[in-house]
Amino acid sequence: MSTAHHVATLAFHDRARSRAAFEEALTLPGLRYAAVLDRGADGVLDVTAEHTPDPGPVTAGAAILGGGVGLLGGPVGSFLGASAGALLANAYIEQEASAGYAGLIMLSADVEDDTALVVLDIKEEATETLDGLAARHHVTCHREDIDAFTARLRTAWKKSGT
């Protein structure tokens, strides 16, 4: 069975109900990131909920790999290798977070006053699970392939001149 990687959004006119959908989404298999963009009646946008799966295994794995490579240089090399591996893993995680925030900024244009948008970065083997969640909350799930979303984000970034 193939896996599809999407950015999925669920738009809510009832902002309070978005939180329940967000909490339920945290149990979805393949979830990589989740957030709720909430725009008040006054037009102020806020990220009222956010979830990123534990990055600890990435950092630990890189530190172990770096330490293993560093063994070739002895005890000091092992320490330096582990430190460098952990540092590189943390830099990768920070870069991923920055890209995620840029995506939220781009999606925030779709959030009207007094509404909320649940945003999910998810790898799905079947669409029924997420579609079922949307149906239970009486909203429609909109999916965009991660490659198309990333291309749209890059285009927006270039147009912004930053």
**Selection from 138, 148, 154, 161 nearest residue 8 by Cα:** 148
Q: Domain-by-domain residue ranges, the chain? A: 4-160
In this prediction, residue 94 carries a pLDDT of 46
Q: Report the helix count and the strand count for the chain, using DSSP H and E.
A: 5, 5
The whole-angstrom separation of Cα 155 and Cα 152 is: 5
The whole-angstrom separation of Cα 29 and Cα 4 is: 12
- Per-residue pLDDT of the chain (162 residues), as tens digits, is 578 999 999 999 998 899 999 999 999 999 988 999 899 999 988 888 888 875 544 444 444 444 444 444 445 444 444 444 444 444 444 444 444 556 777 777 788 999 999 999 999 998 899 999 999 999 999 999 988 888 887 887 777 665
Token pair for 51: 């979830």
SS3 annotation, 70-123: HHHHHHHHHHHHHHHHHHHHHHHHHHHHHHHHHHHHHHHHHCCCCEEEEEEEEE
Contacts of 64 (CB under 8 A, 6+ apart): 82, 85
pTM for this entry: 0.70
